Amino acid sequence: MERDNMMHGARTALNKNMEMREWCEMYLKNKTKEEKGEMNEEEFEHFWKYHKPEIMHAGAAEAVQAYKERNTEN
């Protein structure tokens, strides 16, 4: 239940703050690209186009946490 609450809060934050959303999207895209290193650029862009919604949903809490940590480091 705690994970669901964190994900819901993160998704709400991403829907309200477009700067945060853009940063988090790039964070998750870059992370996914590293994980899919066997794909060339064209293959990855095709993959990202179709899997972005589920990746953004599943990674929302992690990405928002990384965004907040990035802001405290600067």
The band of 1, judged by pLDDT with boundaries at 50, 70 and 90, is very low
- Yes or no: say if 59 and 28 are a contact pair by the CB < 8 Å rule: yes
Q: Which pLDDT value is given to residue 45?
A: 97
Q: How many other CB atoms sit within 10 Å of the CB of residue 74?
A: 4
Q: Sign of the C-alpha dihedral, residues 27, 17, 62, 54? A: negative
Q: How many other CB atoms sit within 10 Å of the CB of residue 11?
A: 16
pLDDT over 70 at 7, yes or no:
yes
